[in-house]
Amino acid sequence: MAIHEITHPLIQHKIGLMREAAISSKDFRELAGEVGNLLTYEATRHLPVELVDIKGWTGESLKVKSIKGKKITVVPILRAGLGMLDGVLNLIPNAKISVVGLYRDEETLQPVAYFDKVVKNIDKRTALIVDPMLATGGTLIATIDLLKQKGCKKIMGLFLVAAPEGIAAVEAAHPDVDIYTASIDDRLNEKGYILPGLGDAGDKIFGTR
């Protein structure tokens, strides 16, 4: 598995703003979208391109580069993943969207799946999972299991913040998946929250804290 920590100054600045205890839901949501957008830019850096023929402005035919296949499905993990979705779609507006719903049981920290609606031809698409937090890794592993069961072969994930414990768990379970994150933080606390982290991203995005 390749883990990419994107250390661009714009991303570091925005993640720093998100760590402020008194941040409003409005600001947190906006920043989640902006960092999601910047992570998408990095994650799509190596998409294959091909030469296609077009008619240029002079009327002459011209070869231009075009993204090969253009087959991406964005996979936001409910709820918190919705906070990054607009930022991702901003750069890949034609992507199909496959929604999965999982929450983490507060006592056991195990993921509980409650919804999925995945595009039909997922076997022919690259899945781009989006979720602000990669903590124990349980939610991501369950999501990748689900996508692979449905035939998906190429999977990437975008996370605002990731914990070393979760990265190691995902790497052991799914070594073929590429992870892009704005920050690899220090560790998990006893309740499975990332430190220094962002707190509960879903509650902050939806104003339910």
Ligand X SMILES: O=c1cc[nH]c(=O)[nH]1
Contact residues: ligand X, CB under 6 A: 133, 135, 192-194, 197, 200-202
125 annotated to bind ligand: no
- φ/ψ of residue 92, rounded to 5: -130, 70
Q: Residue 150: which of ligand PRP, Mg ion, ligand X, none does it interact with, CB under 5 to 8 A by kind?
A: none
**Collapsing DSSP states into helix, strand and coil, what is residue 128?**
strand
Q: Residue 194: which of ligand X, Mg ion, ligand PRP, none does it interact with, CB under 5 to 8 A by kind?
A: ligand X
Asked if 14 and 194 touch (Cβ cutoff 8 Å), the reply is no
| Cβ distance to ligand X smaller for residue 82 or 194 | 194
- φ/ψ of residue 104, rounded to 5: -95, 125
CB of 44 to ligand X, least distance (A): 25
176 annotated to bind ligand: no
Token pair 């205890």 is at which residue?
Answer: 21
**Collapsing DSSP states into helix, strand and coil, what is residue 104?**
strand
Angstrom distance (rounded) from CA 22 to CA 208: 14
Q: Residue 197: which of Mg ion, ligand X, ligand PRP, none does it interact with, CB under 5 to 8 A by kind?
A: ligand X
Residue 53 makes CB contacts below 8 A (sequence gap 6+) with 61, 62, 63
Instruction: Give the binding range for Mg ion (CB under 5 A) out of 86-94, 119-127, 179-187, 198-206.
Output: 198-206
131 annotated to bind ligand: yes
Query: Would you tell me which residues interact with ligand PRP (CB under 6 A)?
Result: 77, 79-80, 103-104, 109, 111, 131-140, 166, 192, 200-202
Closest by Cα among 207, 201, 36, 51 to 128 = 36
Bridge partners (DSSP) of residue 178 are 156
Helix pair angle (9-18, 25-43), 10° resolution: 150
CB of 188 to Mg ion, least distance (A): 15
| Cβ distance to ligand PRP smaller for residue 125 or 137 | 137
CB of 151 to ligand X, least distance (A): 29
Task: Point out the annotated binding site for uracil.
Answer: 194, 199-201
